[in-house]
Structure formats: C-alpha cells, structure tokens
C-alpha cells in the first residue's frame, strides 16, 4: 500500500475565517438597521442573504478545524473528509442563493419596486469592500483547497452582486428605469452559477471518492509498473481523504519472495 498527502494549509486561514465572519456579522447589522430605517425590502432581504454567507463561512471553518483533529481507532483518517462536506455544502448554498436571486429578480421585473437609490448605493459599496476583503483572505488557499475555494467563491460572488447593486442604483438614479436592477441581478446570478458549477461537480465527485481531477490514474498505474521489482499491479484505488490530501492503495506483485 502507498499513501501520499499534500502539506496541510497553514493555520493563518483559521484567523481568516474569524475575520471574515466578524466582518459579515457587522455588515448584517448595518444592512438590517438601514433597511429598517428606510423601509427597504431589498436591503432587509440582502441582510438575510448575508446571514447565509456567515453560515457558509462557519461551515467552511468547521471543516477546516475538524480536519486538524488527530486520527483515532474509530476515525482512522481523523476528520479530514469534513472539508469535502463543507465544500459541498458551500456549493449547494451558492446554488440556492442563485435561485433566490433569480426568483426575486423575476418578481421585481413583473412588479418593479421603487428604491432609495442613494442609500442602496452606499450600503452596497460597503458590501463591495467587505466581501472583496473577505474573498481576498482566501484567494491564496483557493488554489490548493476545495473547501477554501468554496469560501472564496461565496464571498467573491457576493462582492460581484454588490457591484451589480451599485451599478443598478446609479443607473436608476439617472434614468428612473426600475427594471435595470432585476436585469443586472439576473446577469450576476448567471455568472455566479457558472462559477459555482465546477465547485459543485468536484465536491460531489470527492464525496463519491472519485479520483481527484489533478491526478491521472493511468499515469499512476504506469509509474507503479515502471519499477523493475514490480511484476503486477491490481486493485488500484485513489481517492481524496480531504480537500488537500489524497490516498492511494494497490496490490503489487513483486519479483522478490516477500510482498510489497
């Protein structure tokens, strides 16, 4: 049997989750206060959506923290696969958010609602700063960890949505055309869906213990067969233990009298 694993991510991402959650909880309070003060359904709805961001970050952080727990007799790989579940949860949460944005946009196309453009623009600009800053906390980790990529995409998607709100607010303040806001929302929903689809597919594949996309099983087989002592390779299995670690098992026939 052979097992290989990537180096775990540094502990600084634990601090990144804490900062990101704190910033978004603060933003929920800001949106809720201004939404109530201005009687803006849009801001109150977005405050609810931001709460889903907090939930997504908490899930990703929980998976990241659980992955560091040591193995025991019951969990021989520890809790590393919790990062895969967190990535799957985040992708499903994003897909649900896309559905919510689409539904709300279609409703507003049928019944356009007047908005306080200046207030919406101001709060959305705060959202751009907070969501972009939170996404950047995970920008480096997204390249090596599917769980961190889920957190990154979640916050980047919200930053994009906030940019769309700003653009829509500015356009509406100049033209008075209320349908601009839902149209921009539909475009952003499509962009988020496209970006999330690969995360969803990959996380489902890892849950089903498929070979990670960055590994070519045929090449692994050929590499094992290339050893002169190896005469036969069968029962080759490759799967992800976590979003950063991959395991391999195989039965190797050898020239020598003892097994490898």
- Encoded tokens for 146: 């599917």
User: Is a pLDDT exceeding 80 seen at residue 7?
Assistant: no
Tell me what pLDDT residue 9 has: 46
Give pLDDT tens digits for 35-66: 777 666 566 667 777 787 888 899 888 888 88
pTM: 0.76
Give 142 or 5, the one with higher predicted confidence.
Answer: 142
Tell me what pLDDT residue 50 has: 78
Task: Report whether 184 contacts 109 (CB < 8 A).
Answer: no
Task: Report whether 148 contacts 60 (CB < 8 A).
Answer: yes
Instruction: Show Cβ contacts of residue 113 under 8 Å, excluding neighbours closer than 6 positions.
Output: 41, 42, 178
């Amino acid at each position: 049997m052979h097992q290989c694993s990537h180096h775990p991510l540094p502990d600084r991402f634990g601090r990144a989750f804490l900062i990101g959650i704190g910033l978004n909880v603060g933003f929920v309070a800001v949106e809720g206060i201004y939404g109530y003060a201005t009687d803006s359904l849009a801001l109150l709805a977005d405050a609810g959506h931001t709460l889903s961001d907090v939930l997504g970050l908490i899930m990703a952080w929980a998976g990241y923290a659980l992955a560091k727990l040591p193995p025991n007799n019951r969990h021989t790989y520890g809790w590393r696969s919790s990062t895969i579940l967190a990535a799957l949860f985040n992708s499903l949460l994003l897909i649900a958010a896309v559905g919510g944005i689409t539904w709300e946009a279609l409703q507003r196309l049928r019944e356009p609602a007047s908005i306080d453009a200046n207030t919406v623009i101001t709060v959305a600009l705060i959202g751009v700063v907070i969501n972009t800053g939170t996404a950047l906390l995970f920008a480096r980790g997204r390249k090596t960890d599917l769980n961190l990529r889920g957190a990154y995409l979640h916050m980047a998607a919200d930053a994009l949505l906030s940019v769309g709100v700003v653009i829509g607010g500015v356009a509406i303040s100049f033209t008075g055309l209320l349908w601009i806001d839902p149209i921009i929302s539909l475009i952003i929903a499509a962009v988020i869906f496209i970006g999330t689809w690969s995360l969803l597919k990959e996380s489902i594949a890892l849950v089903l213990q498929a070979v990670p996309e960055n590994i070519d099983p045929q090449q692994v087989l050929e590499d094992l067969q290339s050893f002169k002592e190896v005469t036969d390779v069968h029962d080759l299995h490759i799967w992800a233990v976590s979003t950063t670690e991959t395991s391999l098992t195989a039965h190797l026939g050898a020239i020598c009298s003892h097994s490898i």
